[in-house]
Structure 1
């Protein structure tokens, strides 16, 4: 990172004390004590949506969405970070620090999601950042991952914004930082290379935590539960073991597992690898309609028969999946992306949102808060913990 960029980034950060809460710290008033559990929301789109004119409402009145999530019992905000995107001014370090200040002001912790890409990294693709594309060796790439991760966290730490948790990669089913000429469908992961990159990111988080005196937890994240156990077995065999949390994406549309299968996978992962497990992405539509020309990514093919595409069906899905996570020893749930509402702004693929039918806000009523918010305070049975299988 250049000194000029370092100075620019430092100047964008507002001071505040470090937020290293236990995961239930902001839930003290939600009911009887229960084991530590993350109730999270990915709010990476909020700044952009508000800049595009979106107004979020509760009981007809405009609200700060960060405060709304905190007031309804959420305790963790997930935020994505791209390296140097040239196609958007959002999910940059400047934008993320703006969001982190808002999360801190609301009393919530932050899960910072390093994509290690200038664009979306997901279960189907992992694009290397342009600035690193010419680095010829694994050692050089690992050094770049380390320095970027360490510098970013130290910038945040100096301003009291060290995150509670850090994702080293996003949905890293495929090999990290690949190129578009790779035969992705047939390529076998080079675990010597892959492990070196993960270890570099993990070491950077550990070193930054020690230097700052405020150590984030470390998550590794895989899309869809059926892919997780073989991936973590391969990672373990390659020496990638110094992490704290297994993160899972679960979208029924793209997973062959039902909700019971998700629960079984959580128990199996807990037993085999001894890590906390968090469903760090899930979502469900409250309608099949849309508010704009942008096609909904979660359409009728997403639906589970017992949960119709209604506000009540969305809430029922969330309470069912949360109880399943709890009953199988999981440690949290994060909803993606409850605030990506429809506006007049354009995406690469159309005007509006591709997710407004799966948010927590009703576009038919001026983005009024939906019943889904109440899932956090549902009276879950915290005694129903299934035996963890080894």
Structure 2
């Protein structure tokens, strides 16, 4: 009876959680600077808390010293200028364009509802309000490397993320790989600059970089099995300062993503080889810097199954099988405990103007706060509920 009781208490907390969502959305802060975001959450927490990863929070509902289930939400925003008509739209050049304001507000509501259950809460719930999901250094890595989660004795770690590609009213809880490994790559091309009227006297890094941008976009199709998920995207190029000057350097920033770690390694090697040889063909040199941001995010099969089995009790249908080449630092928690990231659909939500994640028009409706909070409650209960003769995640047999 834990889930029905928790959902009943949760409904009372949604109005204040929506107000918190407006506050967080209107004053977004980027990773490592979530000071006011934490302050707003601390003011509403009904239980003791402690700082985590610098600008994050950990709050435990239930007694200490015994195993718990961890529910994680992100705090940071993106460096995007918002273009929505919301009365609580941000105006500081940052934006919650990935739903983190919704996730954090929903988790605050869940903490308050779980606290009201008192001794009826069967397993302690630990809320992790995590900083720096969108940028490096990762908040998840910081929490794990410092051992700040060790005292919580987590038997499972769960999280919920909104997604505009899934139907409203559905939850995605697929077993296995659901998000890709993600690397950030900086490629710097060194040439020899000069006057635009005498290109034959230069070694043009812009020309080399232009060919390289085209070349790397063809690597996935010739290195990775077409039935596997992988992508390479060049997101930024920088070179020069005037139309009549050939610069001496040019840069590109790109992301490599794959649903399999061996495919990711194959693409790293291919990008490096291609960059070196394309640059060489134009008389230039290439230097590459790789930042391995996230591993593949793999959902625990038992947690996924139980979430699907219990979904109707929280008012959800189970979405069709769904995976994404998105990356999330929640993937790091899978090495700490059985983990699950579930996705709540936005497509068709009342008032939702369809826009993708990280789009300056992305704005989940306020009703999403309740949907995410219910999904977080569902995942918590799934983590403590055996299914089909299997033990709960993290328990011994």
Of Structure 1 and Structure 2, which has the larger fraction of its residues in strand?
2
TM-score after normalising by structure 2: 0.25
Query: What TM-score comes out, normalization by structure 1 length?
Result: 0.25
Query: Which structure would you say has the larger Rg?
Result: 2
